[in-house]
Amino acid sequence: MQDHPLLAAARQVLEQNWNGRFTKPAPSLYPHQWNWDAGFIALGNAHHNMDRAMAELRHLFRGQWSNGMLPQIVFGDDPQARYFPGPDFWQTEKAEHAPQGIQTSGISMPPVHGFVLWELYEIAEDKEAARAFLQEMYPKVIALHRYFYDYRDPEEEGLAYIRHPWEGGTDNSPIWDAALARMDTSQLDIPPYERKDLQNPKAAAHRPTQADYDRYVYLVDLFRKNAYDDARIYEQCPFLIQDPLFNGILCWSNEALIKIGDLLGEDISEPMQWHELTIWSMNDKLWDEERGLYNAYDLRQQELIPVYTSSGLMPLCGEVPTQEQAEAMLLTLESGHFGGKRKDIRLCPTYSLQAEDVDFKKYWRGPVWINLNWLLYRGLLRYDMDKVAERVKQDSLALLSEQGFYEYFDPRKEAEGEIGCGTDSFSWSAALCVEWLMR
């Protein structure tokens, strides 16, 4: 695969989006450093430039808060960068734990860093340097996980909640719809704001709606009014969700922390306890036997959110299900919901093909995303489902080579209009393409 024609093009995207300190997720729409993007980008770079992969993660963790929270955005200082909400809106200087002199947002993102570190170690030729890097990063990632277990799991179930759709990484997923709809914008005090994500006309049509943004902004305002105090936010926040994608990733990273800690001779009892409890609770609380996937849970309403999104399949990557449950998930993937048996569909749509409101051009409401495909691919391999894993990989590579390194893709082969959607030159699409081709 090393002479695959896509490889040089993918590396070029990563090179172009590198600004000397970190890699922007995309040239203009996302001009700062994003948390889980940085993890996927480091993984892609690790295959040909390990120093840069390490620099990427070091830069991200410079933004870590003293309570362990790793922010969703670490802001760069490019005066041309047009992004809302910027540091003046987040006002994280109000937070007791925010770092001095480094501007960040005030929420987190799915904790990919543990498994990314382990993958980096496996890829590295110079194991001594890689081990030193693990030594440096291990306490930071442990602190991040400890933050989730100490502050985002108040009932001590082992399930971390997110308090903003941006924390889940899947901004406008149908999973969040009901919780957001309960926030009546006519009754909410929403501070004035100006979006900056609508400048690219092609991307603008598919971005989250104004009503979505009003609620995103309301939540940020609530956090800053509470000086980012987790206990107060937990009491007041209308949006508190335990997401299977987020917690599935947490499991994979817990497992990686156990391996890293073991390698470094650390006491690994804490990550072992986390790992066991989260897997147990995901199966006890979020597993849906009838539908063959994991649900999210709304902590405010005290109810499951039974929508068919591909987030419900992602716990495969953290080896959360048993082989039997995984077989049921495979049936779900191959059912009419995700089109795994259809020749005219490219895996894996993010939302059921049969949902009335599926929208194949709208971010997380139907399109294929390369990062979720990569997580699904790795998950399927864990259960020896090599054939369908290979299909996920080949569908992804076909989209990337036919369309380019877009942010996301219409899953229908015969779709009208654009198949490559959102911004192009998207870093994680390129990075995970490299990872697939070099592995």
Residue (134 or 175) nearer to ligand DGY, CB: 175
Residue (34 or 161) nearer to ligand DGY, CB: 34
3-class state of residue 260 by DSSP: helix
| 82 Rama class: left (phi>0) / alpha (psi -120 to 50) / beta | beta
Query: What ranges make up the beta strands (E) of 6-108?
Result: 33-34, 73-74
How, if at all, do strands 408-409 and 73-74 pair? unpaired
**Nearest-angstrom CA–CA distance, 65 and 111:** 15
- Which one is catalytic: 171, 221, 319, 435? 171
DSSP letter at 421 equals E
Residue (35 or 254) nearer to ligand DGY, CB: 35
List of long-range contacts for 219-223, beta carbons under 8 Å, 24+ apart: 219/163, 219/164, 220/85, 220/89, 220/90, 220/106, 220/107, 220/164, 221/189, 221/190, 221/191, 223/106, 223/107, 223/163, 223/164
CB 219 within 8 A of CB 239: yes
407 a catalytic residue: yes
**Nearest-angstrom CA–CA distance, 102 and 58:** 13
- Kindly state the smallest distance separating residue 166's Cβ from ligand DGY, in Å: 4
Residue with tokens 């066991």: 276
The answer to whether 308 contacts ligand DGY (rule: CB under 6 A) is no
- Kindly state the smallest distance separating residue 172's Cβ from ligand DGY, in Å: 9
- Which one is catalytic: 37, 255, 298, 407? 407
Residue with tokens 């895996």: 347
- Kindly state the smallest distance separating residue 422's Cβ from ligand DGY, in Å: 10
| CA-only gyration radius of the chain, Å | 20
Q: Using the rule CB under 6 A, which residue among 23, 45, 72, 311 binds ligand DGY?
A: 72
DSSP letter at 164 equals S
What character string, x for contact with ligand DGY (CB under 6 A) and - otherwise, covers 195-224?
A: --x---------------------------
Residue (39 or 271) nearer to ligand DGY, CB: 39
The answer to whether 153 contacts ligand DGY (rule: CB under 6 A) is no
Residue (171 or 319) nearer to ligand DGY, CB: 171
By CB under 6 A, the count of residues binding ligand DGY is: 4
- Kindly state the smallest distance separating residue 382's Cβ from ligand DGY, in Å: 28
- In angstroms, the first-to-last Cα distance of the chain is 9
The answer to whether 395 contacts ligand DGY (rule: CB under 6 A) is no
- Kindly state the smallest distance separating residue 58's Cβ from ligand DGY, in Å: 21
- Kindly state the smallest distance separating residue 173's Cβ from ligand DGY, in Å: 12
Cβ-proximal residues to 230 (8 Å cutoff; 6+ apart), any chain: 67, 151, 152
- Kindly state the smallest distance separating residue 17's Cβ from ligand DGY, in Å: 16
Q: Using the rule CB under 6 A, which residue among 119, 157, 171, 395 binds ligand DGY?
A: 171
Residue (33 or 310) nearer to ligand DGY, CB: 33
Beta bridge partners of 351: 309
Q: Using the rule CB under 6 A, which residue among 166, 287, 377, 406 binds ligand DGY?
A: 166
Tokens of 76: 């760069």
Residue with tokens 């495979």: 330
Residue (171 or 435) nearer to ligand DGY, CB: 171
Query: Residue 57 is inside which H or E element, if any?
Result: helix 50-62
**Nearest-angstrom CA–CA distance, 394 and 404:** 14
Q: What share of the chain is helix, strand, coil (3-state, %, to 5)?
A: 50, 5, 40
The answer to whether 61 contacts ligand DGY (rule: CB under 6 A) is no
267 a catalytic residue: no
**Nearest-angstrom CA–CA distance, 84 and 153:** 29
Residue (58 or 195) nearer to ligand DGY, CB: 195
- Kindly state the smallest distance separating residue 351's Cβ from ligand DGY, in Å: 17
- Kindly state the smallest distance separating residue 246's Cβ from ligand DGY, in Å: 14
Tokens of 436: 């697939």
CB 222 within 8 A of CB 232: no
The answer to whether 253 contacts ligand DGY (rule: CB under 6 A) is no
Q: Which residue is nearest to ligand DGY (CB)?
A: 166
What character string, x for contact with ligand DGY (CB under 6 A) and - otherwise, covers 262-291?
A: ------------------------------
Residue (281 or 373) nearer to ligand DGY, CB: 373
The answer to whether 424 contacts ligand DGY (rule: CB under 6 A) is no
The answer to whether 239 contacts ligand DGY (rule: CB under 6 A) is no
Q: Which residues are catalytic?
A: 171, 407
Which residues of this chain interact with ligand DGY, rule CB under 6 A?
72, 166, 171, 197
